[in-house]
Amino acid sequence: MKSKIRFLPLALVALLLAGCAGMSTQPKATTIIPEVVAKNGMVASAHPLASQAGLEILKAGGNAIDSAVATAFAIGVVEPNATGLGGEGYIVIYLKDSDKVTSIDYRSRASLTDATGETWPKEGHRAVAVPGTVAGLSKALEEYGTMSLAQVVEPAARLAEEGFPVSQTLAEVISDNYKRAMPNDYLMSIIAPTGLPLEAGDLYKNPDLARTLRLIGKEGPDVFYKGEIAKLIAQDMAANGGLIDEADLAAYKAIEREPAHGTYRGYDVVSAPAPVGGFLLIEALNMIENYDIRSFGFYSAAKLHLFSEVLARTFDDYYDVLGDPDYVDVPMKALTSKGYANAKAASIKLDSMTTSYEPVDPNSEHWSTTHLSVVDKAGNMVALTQTLSSFFGAAVAVPGTGIILNNEMANFNKKKGPAAYMPGKRMNTTIAPTLVMKDGKAFATLGTPGSVRIVPTLTQIVTNLIDYDMGIQEAIEAPRMFCTYLQGPGKTKMDIESFLFPEEEIAGLVGMGYKLNSYDALDLYFGGVQGIIVKNGKLHGGADPRRDGAVLGY
């Protein structure tokens, strides 16, 4: 969903422009949000109250997994448009003492009822897939946390019960989705309790959600999948033409999977594997590693052109190869190998746009050679990305529970081959919570929302940190582009935060045939990166001004 342009105050725009005036290499370290530095622990999330919830758990003696789970429950309260108990996600974990990396897949899945041939709507009960958030967060806590479920849900429950001020960002999203929500009376009672959409500064409360959270904390995830909450979800589905029933909920399991692994210029990159997009990030970085992009200059048209060429080839695999690994064979080792990336990069021309190229089969030979962020004082690190798919998901909430449900079924539409719909299957998305290590030590935890812009955004963030030596906040605030489909000169669209790029570089892109869709300010269309890096024994946190991001540490 494309956002409205969010204009920054003129003084900040002037400051940013001054920071890049006359520069052709990389931005100066001028940022809107100051970089946060701490020693003992840090939480970066899309809302300050969610970050506070996670920090509360760290200070109480919890580890990074405890904190991440608490933050994830809390962000579902304070960013209800983007995530919540009715959604899904993926978590990537690094455990310092055991030097272990792992990931937990809690993607939603289709109902077991066969509805082959159906075109899925984006609104309403038919759009809803079986939610995975409660199962995934509970599994992460049980396997790798130190606190009880009741302890980590309590900060979120308090926020839902006591309420919080609506931010300008949330107010805009509520307003944009007001018409979608109108058919669902219960959702309207949450986001428009007076009949009019909540505005910035109004108090947002969801006491039903507070009761639901505490019930989950007391009785565990079974109450959501087999108990009282499951019955309420199934009843609401049956009354409104939805597919999900009690058997679907009871059958749901979060799955621990081996993460996607790769390297980039001596750094280890660990991200979420199939059926989501972490391997796409690794594949893009593998191709970019063939080029000395620092010598191109950060703002250069040549670098932006290279990224568009790389990302177009990367996304071929998203559409043609990626699927639920429980249903199809996804050749993850080949897809993340250097040889495969090098073969794909061979057709790139730095001085002109490629409009056609021979696809490379990842199985054709044996190639020789893979958001909220938390780091604790022991060096454990977590990257976690959750979603409802569209803002406010299916625009459906379950009466009496406070739960807003996803619209993930629409992600099956127009998908063929490995990504095609099947009963019980998990659908593809591009979420890619990512960890980066250097010499066996934690370096960065990163992630972002943004649909198909997730992988392009993270590719730019990783290269900003490694190739251009940026700090984390500087890397996040640097201007972004998005282009993953090459249609030929005059037809290929590149979305770009052009107001920060020198005019001659913009002219260079136009000269190569790109049709630019320019943004005049940092915009939430390009995601909302939350990240932490470890440098010289200290934690440095960055939050994205494109959304309501906040970093807290101690």
Nearest to 295 by CA among 310, 282, 306, 283: 306
Dmax over CA atoms of the chain, in Å, equals 63
The continuous run of DSSP H or E covering 543 comes out as strand 538-543
- CB contact at 8 A, 533 and 540: yes
The CA–CA distances, whole Å, from 447 to 69, 273, 516 equal: 15, 14, 26
Which of the residues 83, 212, 369, 448 is marked catalytic? 369
- Cα-based distances in Å from 19 to 410, 464, 465: 42, 16, 18
Q: How many residues does the structure list for the chain?
A: 554
By the 8 A CB rule, do 108 and 406 touch?
yes
Measured CA to CA, the distance from residue 282 to residue 264 in angstroms comes to: 8
Q: What's the one-letter identity of residue 131?
A: P
DSSP 8-state class, residue 120: P
- Catalytic, 212? Answer no
**DSSP, res 83:** -
If one counts every other C-beta atom within 10 angstroms of the C-beta of residue 61, the result is 10
Handedness of CA 137, 139, 145, 147 (dihedral sign): positive
- Give the CA distances from residue 351 to residues 348, 487, 549, in Å, rounded to whole numbers and listed in that order: 9, 16, 38
DSSP H stretches of helix in 177-227: 178-181, 185-191, 207-219, 222-225
Phi and psi (nearest 5°) for 345?
-75, -15
Rg (CA), the chain: 22
Catalytic residue IDs: 369
